Amino acid sequence: MEINKESYNKIAKQWKEYRHKPPLNKCIVDFSQKIKPNGKVLDIGCGTGYPIAKYLSEQGFAVTGIDISENMIKEAVNLKLSNAKFYLCDFFEFIPTEKYDGIVAFDSFFHFPKEKQTEIYHMVSSWMNIGAYLLFTHGKQEGEVKGKMFGETFYYSALDTQNVHKLLTDSGFAIKISVEDYKEVNSERDLLILAKKIR
């Protein structure tokens, strides 16, 4: 969405400062422990690369990060992470050159157009090895809204949780964890799901 691209470009510096304050989410640590050693991980909506891509890189994974914001990608590249590469790319235009052992989409799927929400899980499934894990956050109710963050306008959309579950199952995933109103220290999400590709 162009509105999200423009808004994230405007707040990149503020976002960088904001993301350096809270601790890394425990669910990211738990996710990383399920991925095979030295596995390949895709970070969808990687932002500035901190803290998620940085942490995964430090665990020895080969990390690929994609984001629609030029300024966010610049910040990520500036981290100079070993084992990590970052690309300016729309999710729906991304063409991977390898299969992934893990995919994380933290606070990104809910920025995608509502009419494309049904396409997400088949796409990511096709990019993953059997046995790979997908961790993502999302909204829990069907709809689309606009909201403000750091004074800029952002677009959000989602399907309801039951629909997301069905799309995952139809795309070859087994749902391992699904929590509505997920909470950690200083962190809340409407929906958090961990799924494993089984076919």
3-state secondary structure of 4: helix
pLDDT at position 19, please?
Answer: 84
User: In the prediction, which pLDDT does 22 show?
Assistant: 76
pLDDT at 16: 87
pLDDT score, position 186: 74
d(CA 24, CA 79): 17
Residue-level pLDDT at 161 = 98
Residues making up the chain, counted from first to last? 199
Short-list 33, 34, 35, 56, CA closest to 44: 56
pTM: 0.96
Cα separation, 4 vs 65, in Å, equals 17
pLDDT score for 20: 80
- For residue 75, the domain's CATH number is 3.40.50.150
Domain span at 47? 2-197
Q: How many domains does the chain have?
A: 1
Tell me the average confidence (pLDDT) per consecutive run of 10 residues in the chain, 199 residues long.
Answer: 94 88 90 97 97 97 98 97 97 97 98 98 98 98 97 98 98 98 90 98
